[in-house]
C-alpha cells in the first residue's frame, strides 16, 4: 500500500496478510509507523477519480490502496486523584493525546528556513532587498529592527533546541543573509559573522526568559553559567543539555498534571506489567503520559538500572524501547537502524575483505564464520566487524558464556551483549541478552536486534556510550541515524568516506 503520513512523508508499505478488520490495519500502521498520536484513515476511491474518502470498512480498499493518515487531537483529562487512572475508569476517560509530553517533534533541519517577521520588518526587508539587487546598497538596520529579527530567530531556533551548536548558529546566520542579502555585513569576510555573534547573545537572553517561565530544560542549569553559581560550583559545571540528537531532553508535564498525578499513573503501569498479558494500548498511553516524569528521573537523579527495572518494567520491552527512542529523538529507531545497516552492508563487507594487517586478520576470521547470506547473518557480521575497523575493543562488549547463571562472566560489564554459546562463539548465537550495569535486562531474538535495542536503551536511560565501544556507537548515531550535528572523529570520517566510494 501507499501510505501518506504527511505531505513530505509518503511511504510504500507491505502487509504479509490482508487484515480482516479496520482496527487490525490501524494497529499495524501504529506499530510500524511508531506513531505517538491517534489517527483515522482515508483512502483514494477509484469510483470517484481517486478522491479521498473516509475509510469505514476494510472491504472498501482496492488491491493496492493509497491510504492517508489523519491525526486526531483529543482532550487531556485532568484527574482529581491519581487513583482515577485505574482500569475501572480508563475506558470512560477521554483518550490522552499521545504526544502531550513532547515539547518537540522534529530534529534540527538540514536547511534552516528563515521565518516570517512582523509586517513592518518584512516590508523594510523587501524594500532593502530590491535596492541591494538594483545597486548593491546595504540596508542600515536600526536597533529596534535588529531586535525584532533576532527575537524571532531565537524563538524559531528554540522550537528545535534550547542549546544550538556553533555550526547551527552559523547555519541560521548564513540562511538569514541568503534570504535577505541586504543584511549582508560589509565588514566581515563571510557577511554574517556579526549576525552569528548577536544570535548567540540573543539565544542566551531567550533561554533566560524560558527559565523565568519555569521551562525544565533550562531551569535545570540555572546559576551554572554566571560568575557566582547558586550551588558554589565553578561556572559551567555539569551543564545539562541535550546530546546525541535528543530533541525532548527534559519535557514539561502534560497540561493539568503534576508529579504526584504522574506517580499514580506509573503505579498503574507497574501493576499492569505484573499481568500475564498486559494491555498494550494502556501501557503505551500511560508511558506517553509519564514521559516527562521518567526523563526527570534519568537526567537529574541518574538512578541505578536495577531501580529503573523495578520502577519502569514496561520500559524494558521491545515496543517501548522503540517508542521511547521516538519520544526522545523523534525518529523510528528500528526502521532507520536496519535500513541503514542493510544499505551499508555490501560496502562494509567489501572493506572488511580488503583490510590488511592485524585488523584484516580479525575481519577475515569474522568473514569465515559467515556461513550464509541470510540478512540476520550479514547484519551480525557487520555489527561485529564495525568495532574492529573503528579501533574499539569488542572483547569488552561481546561476552560469551554457556549459562546465564554464570554471573562472573558479565557482572562487571557496564554496557554489553551476552552471547549464549555452549560450544564455541558464533557471529549470531542462539541466545543473546542485553547487559546494563552487570544485570541482564532484556532477551532479544538475535544479535542485530539486541544491538538496536541496546542503542535505544542508552537514549531512554540517558547513558553514556561505553569507552571501549564509543567509536562504534558514534558511527551508528552520526552516520546510520544522522543524529547530532557535531564534527566526525577522524576514524569515523575516514570510514564514512570509504563507504561513499566503495562500489
| Residue 16: per-residue pLDDT | 83
Q: What 3-state DSSP class applies to 257?
A: coil
pLDDT-derived band at 290 (thresholds 50, 70, 90) equals very high
Distance set, CA 263 to CA 217, 267, 269, 287 (Å): 20, 6, 10, 12
| Residue 396: per-residue pLDDT | 92
| Residue 107: per-residue pLDDT | 85
pLDDT tens digit string along 463-491?
Answer: 999 999 999 999 999 999 999 877 889 99
| Residue 232: per-residue pLDDT | 58
Q: Output the nine-digit C-alpha cell for 416.
A: 554489553
Distance set, CA 154 to CA 161, 179, 195, 243 (Å): 10, 17, 12, 20
Write the DSSP symbol of residue 377: H
* Cα four-point dihedral sign 143, 149, 151, 153: negative
What is the arithmetic mean of pLDDT over 447-464?
96
pLDDT-derived band at 153 (thresholds 50, 70, 90) equals very high
Element (H, E) at 45: strand 38-45
What is the arithmetic mean of pLDDT over 307-313?
97
Instruction: Specify the higher pLDDT residue, 397 or 235.
Output: 397
- Strand pairing class (66-72; 439-442): unpaired
pLDDT-derived band at 386 (thresholds 50, 70, 90) equals very high
E strand segments, 287-336: none
E strand segments, 58-175: 66-72
Residue 97 in this model has a pLDDT that exceeds 60: no
Percent of the chain whose pLDDT exceeds 70: 88
* Length in residues, the chain: 503
Question: Within 10 A of 116 (CB to CB), how many other CB atoms are there?
Answer: 9
Residue 344 in this model has a pLDDT that exceeds 50: yes
Residue 87 in this model has a pLDDT that exceeds 60: no
Residue 83 in this model has a pLDDT that exceeds 50: no
Q: What 3-state DSSP class applies to 373?
A: coil
| Residue 423: per-residue pLDDT | 58
| Residue 95: per-residue pLDDT | 34
Residue 230 in this model has a pLDDT that exceeds 70: no
Domains, the chain, in order of start with CATH, read 2-72 (3.10.20.90), 82-102+246-330 (no CATH), 119-213 (no CATH), 333-501 (no CATH)
| Residue 151: per-residue pLDDT | 95
Of 404, 443, 438, 435, the closest CA to residue 422 belongs to 404
Percent of the chain whose pLDDT exceeds 90: 56
DSSP string, 421-441: -SSS--SS-SEEEEEETTEEE
pLDDT tens digit string along 27-74?
Answer: 888 888 877 667 889 989 888 888 888 888 888 888 889 999 887 644
Q: Which distant-in-sequence residues (6+ apart) come within 8 Å of 225 by Cβ?
A: 235, 236, 239
Write the DSSP symbol of residue 463: P
Average pLDDT, the chain: 86
Distance set, CA 87 to CA 177, 296, 339, 435 (Å): 56, 26, 38, 33
| Residue 108: per-residue pLDDT | 86
CB 454 within 8 A of CB 446: no
Distance set, CA 29 to CA 94, 163, 396, 502 (Å): 22, 34, 39, 36
Of 355, 391, 386, the closest CA to residue 479 belongs to 386
The CA dihedral of 478, 481, 485, 489, to the nearest 10 degrees, is 0
Q: Output the nine-digit C-alpha cell for 25.
A: 490495519
What is the arithmetic mean of pLDDT over 229-249?
70
Q: Output the nine-digit C-alpha cell for 210.
A: 524560558
Residue 82 in this model has a pLDDT that exceeds 50: no
Write the DSSP symbol of residue 407: G
Residue 228 in this model has a pLDDT that exceeds 90: no
Instruction: Specify the higher pLDDT residue, 81 or 22.
Output: 22
Residue 281 in this model has a pLDDT that exceeds 90: yes
| Residue 428: per-residue pLDDT | 77
pLDDT tens digit string along 201-222?
Answer: 999 999 999 888 888 888 887 6
Element (H, E) at 295: helix 291-296
Write the DSSP symbol of residue 181: G
pLDDT-derived band at 234 (thresholds 50, 70, 90) equals low
Q: Output the nine-digit C-alpha cell for 123.
A: 516590508
| Residue 59: per-residue pLDDT | 87
Write the DSSP symbol of residue 340: H
- Strand pairing class (2-6; 398-401): unpaired
Amino acid at each position: 500500500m501507499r501510505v501518506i503520513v504527511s505531505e513530505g512523508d509518503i511511504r510504500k508499505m507491505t502487509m504479509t496478510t490482508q487484515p480482516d478488520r479496520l482496527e487490525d490495519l490501524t494497529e499495524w500502521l501504529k506499530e510500524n509507523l511508531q506513531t505517538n498520536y491517534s489517527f483515522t484513515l482515508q483512502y483514494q476511491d477509484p469510483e470517484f477519480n481517486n478522491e479521498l474518502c473516509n475509510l469505514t470498512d476494510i472491504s472498501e480498499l482496492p488491491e493496492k490502496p493509497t491510504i492517508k493518515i489523519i491525526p486526531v487531537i483529543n482532550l487531556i483529562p485532568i484527574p482529581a486523584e491519581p487513583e482515577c487512572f485505574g482500569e475501572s475508569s480508563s475506558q470512560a476517560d477521554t483518550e490522552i493525546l499521545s504526544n502531550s509530553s513532547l515539547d518537540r517533534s522534529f530534529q534540527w533541519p538540514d536547511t534552516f528556513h528563515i521565518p516570517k517577521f512582523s509586517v513592518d520588518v518584512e516590508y523594510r526587508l523587501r524594500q532593502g532587498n530590491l535596492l541591494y539587487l538594483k545597486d548593491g546598497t546595504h540596508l542600515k538596520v536600526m536597533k529596534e529592527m535588529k531586535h525584532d529579527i533576532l527575537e524571532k530567530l531565537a524563538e524559531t531556533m528554540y522550537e528545535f533546541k534550547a542549546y544550538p551548536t556553533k555550526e547551527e548558529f552559523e547555519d541560521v546566520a548564513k540562511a538569514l543573509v541568503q534570504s535577505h542579502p541586504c543584511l549582508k555585513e560589509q565588514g566581515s569576510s563571510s557577511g554574517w559573522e556579526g549576525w552569528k555573534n548577536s544570535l548567540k547573545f540573543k539565544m542566551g537572553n531567550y533561554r533566560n526568559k524560558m527559565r523565568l517561565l519555569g521551562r525544565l530544560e533550562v531551569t535545570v542549569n540555572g546559576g551554572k553559567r554566571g560568575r557566582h553559581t547558586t550551588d558554589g560550583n565553578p561556572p559551567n559545571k555539569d551543564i545539562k543539555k541535550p546530546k546525541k540528537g535528543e530533541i525532548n531532553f527534559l519535557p514539561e508535564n502534560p497540561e493539568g498534571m503534576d508529579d504526584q498525578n504522574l506517580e499514580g499513573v506509573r503505579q498503574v503501569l507497574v501493576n499492569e506489567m505484573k499481568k500475564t498479558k498486559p494491555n498494550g494500548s494502556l501501557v503505551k498511553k500511560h508511558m506517553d503520559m509519564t514521559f516527562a516524569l521518567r526523563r526527570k528521573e534519568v537526567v537529574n537523579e541518574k538512578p541505578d538500572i536495577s531501580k529503573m527495572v523495578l520502577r519502569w518494567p514496561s520500559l524494558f520491552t521491545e515496543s517501548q524501547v522503540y517508542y521511547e527512542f521516538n519520544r526522545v529523538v523523534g525518529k523510528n529507531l528500528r526502521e532507520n537502524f536496519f535500513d541503514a545497516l542493510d544499505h551499508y552492508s555490501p560496502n562494509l563487507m567489501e572493506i572488511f575483505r580488503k583490510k590488511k594487517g592485524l585488523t584484516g586478520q580479525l575481519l577475515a576470521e569474522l568473514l569465515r564464520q559467515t556461513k550464509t547470506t541470510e540478512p540476520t547473518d550479514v547484519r551480525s557480521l557487520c555489527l561485529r566487524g564495525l568495532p574492529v575497523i573503528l579501533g574499539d575493543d569488542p572483547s569488552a562488549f561481546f561476552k560469551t558464556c554457556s549459562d546465564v547463571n554464570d554471573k562472573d562472566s558479565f557482572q562487571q560489564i557496564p554496557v554489553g551483549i551476552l552471547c549464549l554459546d555452549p560450544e564455541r562463539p558464533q557471529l549470531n548465537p542462539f541466545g543473546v541478552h542485553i547487559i546494563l550495569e552487570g544485570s541482564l535486562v532484556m532477551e532479544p531474538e538475535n544479535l542485530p536486534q539486541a544491538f538496536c535495542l541496546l542503542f535505544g536503551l542508552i537514549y531512554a536511560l540517558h547513558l553514556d556510550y561505553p569507552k571501549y565501544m564509543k567509536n562504534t556507537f558514534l558511527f551508528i548515531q552520526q552516520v546510520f541515524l544522522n543524529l547530532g550535528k557535531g564534527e566526525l572523529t577522524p576514524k569515523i570520517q575516514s570510514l564514512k568516506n570509504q563507504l561513499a566510494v566503495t562500489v
